[in-house]
């Protein structure tokens, strides 16, 4: 009886292994996840281009571009504004395609529930973002609607970064704690701090000169002093940097794995770059060319924060390491 049970269990395990080996490789899954991560960060940059060029209402309704037309209409708005806004909308389909590709890949490879759930969340988030973006257009780009549109993008960047890390881990291993709870506390504190950085950043933008459409002006803007908000935003940035530096110190002190420590160092460097761009914006009067750079760096620091968080607990040895040994 026990022999039969063992044989059945072995057959079941063999069937699972066969399904996994016949599915997309780990390398392909990670490549697709990286493409998704780049797309999630990239569409925030194209969104900032829409904003600084005043093209937000180049398509003045949603889901159509103009009343009765899915595509731009000659003379309905300046052609460059229509092209930029409609192009940004089309890029949403690219992001959705990347999310679908990752979801299909991890399901075909029979990956664990954690990975599947992250992939599902990514695709659902893209759909939700499309709806929020449409609502912000219908609301004539009210500052708070634009902020609500931007902030979930950062959440999706975080999710995509964690997904990229988790795909490299074996499904049949238990999570291993790689740095102490004291470090994890500071890493989480830094993640919370960056949330405040992002929220206050949207408030600075909401009160600033770039409304999102050339015809909107200051209507629907946040009626608070931009300089004061910039100081609050900077204070949040310093807290974020301080929490990250504390993480670096503790990682060093507790002899954390080199990959986690190096990620933290790179994160500090990128925060400093982001700070420098922000300072330049403040003293130069927020020139348009600085805004896409600032938004792009937001995605970079959020992704690196996600990497550092994911390093805290990992299933080892990594599948990429296993492949290298074979």
pLDDT tens for residues 196-208? 999 999 898 888 7
Q: Which H, E and C letters describe the chain, residue by residue?
A: CHHHHHHHHHHHHHHHHHHHHHCCCHHHHHHHHHHHHHHHHHHHHHHHHHHHCCECCCCCCCCCCECCECCCCCCCCCHHHHHHHHHHHHHHHHHHHHHHHHHHHHHHCCCCHHHHHHHHHHHHHHHHHHHHHHHHHHCCCCHHHHHHHHHHHHHHHHHHHHHHHHHCCCCCCCEEECCCHHHHHHHHHHHHHHHHHHHHHHHHHHHCCCCCECCCCCCCCCCCCHHHHHHHHHHHHHHHHHHHHHHHHHHHHCCCCHHHHHHHHHHHHHHHHHHHHHHHHHHHCCCCCHHHHHHHHHHHHHHHHHHHHHHCEEECCCHHHHHHHC
164-191 per-position pLDDT tens digit: 999 999 999 999 999 999 999 999 999 9
Mind listing the pLDDT tens digit of every residue in the chain (326 residues)?
Answer: 444 544 444 444 444 444 455 689 999 999 999 999 999 999 999 988 888 888 888 888 888 899 999 899 998 888 899 999 999 999 999 999 999 999 999 999 999 999 999 999 999 999 999 999 889 888 887 888 888 999 999 999 999 999 999 999 999 999 999 999 999 999 999 999 999 999 999 898 888 776 555 555 445 678 888 889 999 999 999 999 999 999 999 999 999 999 999 999 999 999 999 999 999 988 888 888 888 999 999 999 999 999 999 999 999 998 865 554 43
Q: In the prediction, which pLDDT does 321 show?
A: 59
> What is the value of pTM for the model shown?
0.87
């Amino acid at each position: 009886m026990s022999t039969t049970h063992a044989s059945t269990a072995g057959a079941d395990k063999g069937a699972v292994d066969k399904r996994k080996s016949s599915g997309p490789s780990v390398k392909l899954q990670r490549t697709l996840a990286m493409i998704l991560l780049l797309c999630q960060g990239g569409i925030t940059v194209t969104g900032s281009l829409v904003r600084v060029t005043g093209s937000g209402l180049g398509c003045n309704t949603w889901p159509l571009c103009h009343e009765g037309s899915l595509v731009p209409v000659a003379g309905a708005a300046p052609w460059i504004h229509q092209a930029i806004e409609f192009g940004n909308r089309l890029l949403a389909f690219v992001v959705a395609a990347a999310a679908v590709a990752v979801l299909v890949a991890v399901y075909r490879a029979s990956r664990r529930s954690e990975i599947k759930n992250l992939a599902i969340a990514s695709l659902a988030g893209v759909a939700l973002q499309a709806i929020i973006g449409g609502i912000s257009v219908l609301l004539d780009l009210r500052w708070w609607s634009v902020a609500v549109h931007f902030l979930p993008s950062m959440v999706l960047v975080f999710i995509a970064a964690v997904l990229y890390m988790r795909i490299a881990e074996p499904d049949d291993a238990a999570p291993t704690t790689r740095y102490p709870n004291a470090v994890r506390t500071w890493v989480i504190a830094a993640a919370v701090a960056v949330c405040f950085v992002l929220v206050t950043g949207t408030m600075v933008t909401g009160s600033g000169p770039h409304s999102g459409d050339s015809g909107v002006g200051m209507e629907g803007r946040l009626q608070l002093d931009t300089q004061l908000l910039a100081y609050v935003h900077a204070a949040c940035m310093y807290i974020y940097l301080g929490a990250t530096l504390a993480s670096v110190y503790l990682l060093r002190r507790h002899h954390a794995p080199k990959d986690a420590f190096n990620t933290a160092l790179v994160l500090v460097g990128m925060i400093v770059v982001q700070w420098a761009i922000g300072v330049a914006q403040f003293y130069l009067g927020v020139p348009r060319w600085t805004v896409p750079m600032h938004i792009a760096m937001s995605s970079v620091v959020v992704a690196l924060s996600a990497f550092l968080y994911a390093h805290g607990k990992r299933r080892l040895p990594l599948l990429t390491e296993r492949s290298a040994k074979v």
